[in-house]
Amino acid sequence: MRSVFPTYDISPYPIGGTTACTKEFLKGTVEIFLASATSLKLLYRREEFFKDVPQDALLPVHTLYHLYNYTPMITTPELKEKYRLNSWKDLDGKKVTFFSVKTENHMWYMRVMRTLGVNVIHVEMDVEMIADALRKGDIVACIVPQVGGAFPPWGTGIFTKVNTVLIPPSSEEAKAVENAGLPFIWFSTKKFRESGVDVLGLDKTFGLVMVLGWNSHPKFLSEDDVYRLLKAMIARKDELVKMSAYLAEFAEDPIGLQVTAISIAPEVPVHPGLAKLLKEQGVWRGEWKIAS
């Protein structure tokens, strides 16, 4: 951003997670922030973490997305055999760790369990403790995100400390989740297989998908600002990958990433700078709204 906007004063404000970042934007602390398309969907519907947001609040819009977050469910071979964990209904009455109650990942997985009528017992813990908890049987399953084609250090730690295996849902369970309109899809198991996870011979598994990026509002970034920034990032995408592996998915298909994100939350307006680029690329959809 500094190279595209040399006259702007850009100050980083580190804070954890899409929910916390969104709330900082709503308070006016930040003007550009990390968010997922699904979190914006919840915000516009005033659901979950955002149920108390005033109706007249200045809301962010789809602006710039840069990576996917794929999150399946895993266990150990020993626990899978002991508790016969062959589908998600087999977790009924069992202790699990769905990341943290503060996160969007947790919220979506709990929604899925309620949709399927599965009563799990979530155990809140530091992520560094998950591998030991699985080894001791304090929990029988957990979720691990693949972010931007890579794994967070604590996820890699699980794979190196214990043997792991996927717990995919049954085809009926996956269909019920899709019919409920939850952001769960089938995605490649390649990265998980390469990290040592037993993927049960599956090319794809079913789990949570979130698209993350930096969102804002035309009040803070003009149409020309966002258009120029996106064009510059696309032109320099190979250079960006060398700076951060988390930008590999953006470099692979920057336009497709934006389209996927907007499609997840079509009720959220699109920044005019992003809309201009998508129209230029011939992928704009008539049902989408442009933010004023």
Write out the two tokens for 75.
Answer: 């266990």
Percent of the chain at pLDDT exceeding 90 = 85
Closest CA to 49 of 97, 100, 102: 102
| Mean pLDDT, residues 153-158 taken together | 92
Q: Taking the domains of the chain in order of start, what are their residue ranges?
A: 18-67+212-280, 70-210
- Please answer whether residues 68 and 224 qualify as being in contact, where contact means their C-beta atoms are separated by less than 8 angstroms: no
Per-residue pLDDT band at 14 (split at 50, 70, 90): confident
How many other CB atoms are there within 10 angstroms of residue 116's CB atom?
Answer: 20
Percent of the chain at pLDDT exceeding 70 = 100
pLDDT in tens, 209-246: 999 999 999 999 999 999 999 999 999 999 999 998 88
Per-residue pLDDT band at 150 (split at 50, 70, 90): confident
Q: What is the reported pLDDT for 164?
A: 97
The answer to whether the 18-67+212-280 and 70-210 domains have the same CATH topology is yes
| Mean pLDDT, residues 58-64 taken together | 98
Per-residue pLDDT band at 17 (split at 50, 70, 90): confident
CATH number corresponding to 18-67+212-280: 3.40.190.10
Q: What is the reported pLDDT for 19?
A: 87
Q: Which residues, 6 or more positions from 11, have their beta carbon under 8 angstroms from its beta carbon?
A: none
Terminal alpha carbon distance of the chain = 23
What CATH architecture is 70-210?
3-Layer(aba) Sandwich (3.40)
- 203 pLDDT higher than 90: yes
pLDDT in tens, 27-53: 999 999 999 999 999 999 999 989 999
Among 15-19, 194-198, 285-289, name the one with the lowest average pLDDT.
15-19
For the chain, the farthest-separated pair of C-alpha atoms sits apart, in whole angstroms, at 62
Per the prediction, the chain carries an average pLDDT of: 94
Q: What is the reported pLDDT for 152?
A: 87
